[in-house]
Structure 1
Amino acid sequence: MESQELIVRIDFVDRPGLGYDIFQRFETHNTDKIGMEVTHGHQMMIKFRCSNQEESETLIQDLLTVQGVVSVKLANYMPYEKREQELKTILDLVSEGIIAINTNHKVTHINEVAARIFYTTPEKALNQDAEFLFEANAPIFETLKTGIPYSLKERKIRRNQRLIHFLTSGVPILNKRGQIIGGVMTIKDFRQVEELLSKVERKPQSITFDNIIYESRRMRDLIETAKTVARGTSTILLRGESGTGKELFAKAIHAESPRSQQAFIPINCAALPDTLLESELFGYEEGAFTGATKGGKKGLFEQAHGGTLFLDEIGDITPQVQVRLLRVLQEGTVRRIGSSKEIPVDVRIIAATHRNLEALIDEDQFREDLYYRLNVIPLHIPSLRERPEDIPLIAQTLTRKIAKKLDKSEVYLTKESTDLLMAQKWPGNVRQLENLLERIINLNSSSEIKPSSFYEWADLAPAVPITKPESTAHQLIVPITEPWPPLKEIVAQVEREVLLKVLAKHPSSRKAGKILGVSNTTILNKMNSYGLGKIDEPEG
C-alpha cells in the first residue's frame, strides 16, 4: 500500500524534555518525520509519513499520553507551506513577472507571469540554473556580486526562434547582517509596456508647446491660436497629413488646459477592430460577451473623466461606433456594453484625422451630425511642404536628438544638406524626416553630414534653386508707419507706385493702360488723383 503524508498539530504546556518525548513516540511507531515547526510558542506542527489510517490514529493516541500535551489534531498545511501558498497566490496575481534566485544562481521563486514570458512553467524553472532563463550576462548576476540594484533595463533574448523582449528591474536580498543571499527581479513583457503606453498617461504631460519646433510665421500663428482654445472646453479637431505632429499638438493643448493635472488618454481608432474599439471606449459589464473580464471594465471615457480623450484617426471609425460616439458627445453620458445604466462623464475631446471628412460625408462613410460635433474648433497643422523654412531648425534639432540616442557626438548637417532637405516634398512629414535622419546618422562615419550621404543612402532629388528672370520681377516699396492707415489708403499707395514704375518705362497713357488692362482715361484720372502731373501723349 502506498504511504501517505499527514500533518498533526500538537498543543502543549511547555516543560523540559517535552520535545524529546514526542520524537520518541514517532521512533517507537517507526514513523518518518518530514518536517517540524513550532508556532505561537505552545503549538507544534509535525509532518510525517505513515502507511495507513490505523497507524496514524494509533500514533495520535500515543502522543496524547505524553505529559504536557493538551491536544493532537490533524491539519491541512504546515505553516511554511501555507505561507508559500499565500506568497505564490500573491505573486501570480500581480501583472509583472517576478523571479528570485539565490547566490548559486538557482531559481527559488517564479510566478506564472514570468514563466509565460520565458515560455516555460514554474515547475520546469524552479531550482534550475538562472542562466537557463536569462543568459549569462543578465544584470541580476551583477547585482548579486555588487549589491547594487538596477531599474528598467531593456533586454532581448532569442530562444527557439522566439524573441523575448522585456524590461527588468532587480534588487539584492540581504540577511540581517547585510550579506547578499539572493536577488529578486521583476519582468515586464515589452508588448505589455507598449499597450500601457498607448492607452493611459496618468501623469501630468511633459509635452508642451515648447516641444514643438518651428520658425515660420504660420506655425507661430497656429500655436497662438491653439494656446487660446486650450483654455476652454470645446471639442477640437486636428487636421493634417500623417507625420505632422497631431498627437504632439493634442498633448500640448492638454498641458496648456485647466485639465492638465488630470488624465490624458490617447487611442488610435484605426489600430483596433470596431468591436474591440467599442469595448475600449465605452467599457462593458460582466458577462456582456464571451471573454469579458469578471466584474466588467471601465471604458476610456470613464477613465478620462475630468481629463482629455484624444481620438486619433477619427475618420477611420465604423458607422456603428460613430453612432455611439455621437450619443456620448450629445448627452455627456456613456453606457457600457451590456448595460442600460447611463454614466455621466466630463471629458474634453480632441480628435484628429489625416482624411478628408467632407469627402467621406459625400460618400456616406462619415456622419454629418458627428462631423459638426467634432469640428467645433478645427486646427489645420501644415505639412513640411507648406512651411519649408522650418525644416533646417527641425532637422538640426532631430540630428542632435538622434546622435545623443546613438551615443554619437558632434554630428551636424552642412548648409548644402539642409538646402537639400528643404527641396524635398516630404509626404511623411516630420516622421519621415526623423526616420531618414536616423538612417543617415547610423550609416555616416563622419561628424559632418553632406548631401552625398543622402544621395547614397536615400532616394532624394537634388536641390534645384528656383530663380525668376530679372525682367519679370517687380518690387514695390510702400512705406507704412504705425498706426496702420485705412486699407483704402494702403491700396492707393500701391496703385501710385505701380503707375510710377509703368509710366517710367512707357510714358503714354494708352501704353500704360494696355499693360495694366485699363483704359487710357482711367490712367489719366489716376494720375490726376495722385498728383503725378501730365505726360506728353504721342500724336496719332
Structure 2
Amino acid sequence: MQAQEIVIQIHFVDRLGLAHEILEIFKNEKISLLGMEAQTNQVMMVKFACPSDRKLQRLMAELKKINGIQAVAQRDQMPYEHREHQLETILNSVSEGILAVDSQGQITHINDVACQILDFSREKVLGKTVEELFSIEIPIQETLKTGRSYRFTEIKMKKGSKVIHYLTSGVPVINEKGQIMGAVATVKDYRQVEEILSKVELGNKRLTTFDDIVHQSGRMRQLVETAKIVARGNSTILLRGESGTGKELFARAIHMESHRSLAPFIAVNCAALPETLLESELFGYEEGAFTGAARGGKKGLFEQAENGTLFLDEIGELSPHMQVRLLRVLQESTIRKIGGILEIPVNVRIIAATHRNLEEMVRQKTFREDLYYRLDVIPLRIPPLRERPEDIPLTAQHLVRKICARLGKPEKFLTKESADFLMNQTWPGNVRQLENTLERIINVSDSTEILPRHFNQWASTEPGSCILQGNGGRGISVPLGDKIPPLKEIVGEVEKQVLQHVLEKYPSSRKAGNVLGVSNTTILNKIKTYDIILTEKE
C-alpha cells in the first residue's frame, strides 16, 4: 500500500528537549519526515509519509502524551505550500511572463505565460539552470554576476524550427547583506509589444470631435451637420478636397461621432508605402509567406481596426492590384492574408480620402470604376479656404492659440487688418499652409499682435506662399486678359508658379513634397501635369 503524505499541526508550550522527543516518536514509528516548519506562535507543522490511517492515529496519540503538547490536528498543507500556491496564483494572474532564478541560475519559479512564450514545460524547467535551457546567453545571467538591472531588452533565439522573439526586463534579488540571492525577469511576446505600441500610438492621438473643426461659414456648417448624420451609419464615406483642407480631421471626427468610437481608428497613407509593404500592412501575412516574414505571421490593419474605422488617405494612389484587393474587402467584408488560404471576416468601416479627380481617372482607366462606386457611397467635399474666406480669421486665431501653446510662447492675437489681409489670399495649401505661415511668424516675432507687415516680411521665405502683395515681398502673377479665365485655370497657374518657386530652392520631389505637405508622388504628378523640368538631387 502506497504511503500517504500527511500534514499535522502541533500546538505546544515551549520547553527544552521538546523537539527531540517529537522526532524520537517519528523515529520509533519508522515514519519518514518530509518537512517541518516551526511558527512563532508556538505552533509546529510536520509533513510525513504515513502508510495507514491506523498508524496515523497511533502516532498522533503518542505525540499528545508528550509533556508540553497541547493539541495535535491534521491539516491540508504546509504553510510553505500554501504560500507557494498563493505565489503561483499571483504569477499566473499577470499578463506578462515571469521567470525567477536562484543565485546559481536555477529556475525556481516560472508562470504559465513565460512557459508559453519561451515554449517550455514547467515540469521540465524547474530546478534546471538557464545555461541548460537557453541556446544563447540571456541578460539575467549578467544580472546574477553584476547585480545590475536591465530594461526592455529584445531577445531573438532559435529553438528547433521556431524563432522565439521577446522583450525582457530583469532585477536582482539582494538580501540585507547586499548579497545577490537570485534574479527575476519579465518576458513579453514581441508580437504583443507591437500591438501595444500600435494601440499606444493610436491612443496618443488626441480624440478629435466636430468641436475641433473651427468654422462659421454656411457651407462648412452644412457639411459638418451632414457629416454628423452619416457618422451614425456604417456606409463607406469618401472625403474629397484639396491637400491641406483637413480630410483626416473630418475622418477622426466622424469616427468619434459614430457607434464605433470606443474601437480603434487607424489611418494609413496609401501613397506613403510601396505596394508590397502596403499590402502586408493592410492585410497581414501568414508565417513563411515570404523571406523575412515574422514567425507566427502578422495581423494586418484591417484586423487591428476590428469594429472600428480604417482611414485610407490618398486612395487615388492605389495600384491596380491593390484596387482589386480593396474592392474584394468592400464587397465581401472578408480579407485573405498574404500566403493564407482562409477568408477572415472583418467588421471595419472604411473612410477614404483623395484630392485627385477620381472621375477623370476612371475615364482614363487608371482607377477601377467598380471600386469608385463602392467608395463613393457617401461623398463629402471639404471646400478649400478660398471658397470660404469668412472662416479664415476664426481658423487663423485658433491656429495661433494652438501654435503658441505648443511652442510655449505667450498667446498672440491677429489684428483686424491682418485678418482682412489673410482673407484676400488664395491659400493653395489651405489650412496646412495657413498654419505653417503663422508658425513661422510666431517663431520670429516677439510682438503680442500679428500685423500685416509680418506677413509681408516673411512671405518671400514661405515656399509656396500665396501672399499676393506686400512691400517688396515676392508675389504670384496671374495673367488676366479681357476675358477672365475659369477659376480652375487661375488656380492651376498659381499652383504651377508655387511649385516652380519651391523646386528652385528644393530641386527634389521628396524635399518639395515635405515642404508643401504632400507625397513625392503628388509632386511628380504635378511636375508632369505642368511640364516642369526637374533635375533630382536626392
TM-score w.r.t. length of structure 2: 0.52
Q: Distance in 2 between matches of 1:254 and 1:109?
A: 43
Paired residues of 1:204 and 1:262 also in contact (CA < 8 A)? no
Deviation at 1:114, TM superposition (A): 8.3
Shift of 1:301: 1.2
1:50-449 equivalences under 5 Å are 79-82=103-106, 108-110=148-150, 113=153, 201=202, 206-449=207-450
Q: Is the Cα contact below 8 Å between 1:263 and 1:304 reproduced in 2?
A: yes
State the SS of the aligned residue for 1:271. Answer: coil
Per-residue CA distance 1:262-314 (angstroms, 9 max, x = gap): 11111111111010111111111100001111111111111112111111110
Question: Conserved in 2, the CA contact under 8 Å of 1:264 and 1:304?
Answer: yes
Distance change in 2, residues 1:305/1:420 (3 Å): same
The amino acid that maps onto 1:404 is: A
In 1, Cα distance between equivalents of 2:470 and 2:205: 43
* 1:29 equivalent in structure 2: none
Give unpaired runs (5+ residues) of structure 1: 1-39, 43-76, 101-105, 116-171, 178-191, 465-540
1:222, CA displacement in angstroms? Answer: 0.3
- Give the RMSD, CA atoms, in angstroms: 4.0
CA distance in 1, matches of 2:350, 2:385: 26
- 1:41-69, CA deviations, whole angstroms, 9 ceiling, x for partnerless residues? 99xxxxxxxxxxxxxxxxxxxxxxxxxxx
C-alpha distance in 1 between matches for 2:268 and 2:362? 23
Structure 2 unpaired stretches of 5+? 1-34, 38-100, 119-138, 141-145, 156-170, 177-192, 461-466, 472-538
The 8 Å contact of residues 148 and 172 in structure 2, kept in 1 or not, is answered as no
**Contact persistence 2:456–2:470 (CA under 8 A):** no
For 1:198 and 1:384, the matched residues in 2 are separated by 34
Distance between the aligned counterparts of 1:443 and 1:347, measured in 2? 45
- Give 2:468's aligned residue: 461
Task: Supply the AA of the counterpart residue of 1:374.
Answer: L
CA distance in 1, matches of 2:362, 2:319: 13
- For each residue in 1:135-167, what CA deviation from the matched residue of structure 2 results, as whole angstroms up to 9, or x when unmatched? xxxxxxxxxxxxxxxxxxxxxxxxxxxxxxxxx
Answer whether contact 1:396 1:412 (CA < 8 A) is retained.
yes
Q: Count how many residue pairs are aligned between Structure 1 and Structure 2.
A: 314
Q: Whose radius of gyration is greater, 1 or 2?
A: 1
C-alpha displacement at 1:408, in angstroms?
Answer: 1.6
In the superposition, relative to structure 1, how do residues 256 and 450 fare at CA in structure 2: closer, same or farther (>3 Å)?
same
Q: Is the 8 A contact 2:236 2:376 kept in 1?
A: yes
* Letter matched to residue 255 of structure 1: M
Distance 1:242 1:113, change over 3 A: farther
- 1:375 to partner: Cα distance: 0.2
1:198–1:266 contact (8 Å) kept in structure 2: no
Q: 1:462 deviation in Å?
A: 2.6
Partners of 1:205 and 1:446 lie apart in 2 by 30
Q: Per-residue CA shift, 1:185-239, capped at 9, x if unaligned?
A: xxxxxxx99x956996268971110110001000000001001111111100000
For 2:331 and 2:407, locate their aligned partners in 1 and report how far apart those are by CA, in whole Å: 49
SS at structure 2 position matched to 1:81: coil
Q: What is the SS of the residue equivalent to 1:425?
A: coil
Letter in 2 for 1:397: H
SS at match of 2:202: coil
User: In the aligned structure 1, how far is the partner of 2:200 from the partner of 2:356?
Assistant: 23
Contact 1:305 1:347 in 2 (8 A): yes
Q: For 1:412 and 1:456, locate their aligned partners in 2 and report how far apart those are by CA, in whole Å.
A: 18
Distance 1:260 1:237 in 2: 19
Letter in 1 for 2:468: A
2:295 & 2:285 partners in 1: Cα distance?
Answer: 10
Distance 1:174 1:399 in 2: 53
- Distance in 1 of aligned mates of 2:411 and 2:108: 55
Counterpart amino acid of 1:308?
T
Q: Equivalent pairs: percent with the same residue?
A: 60
**Counterpart amino acid of residue 242 in structure 2:** E
Distance 1:295 1:436, change over 3 A: same
- The separation in 1 between residues aligned to 2:198 and 2:389, in whole angstroms, is 32
1:198 and 1:231 map into 2 onto residues whose CA distance is: 24
Displacement after TM superposition at 1:454 (Å)? 1.1
| Partner-residue secondary structure (3-state), 2:350 | strand
Letter of the 1:363 counterpart: Q
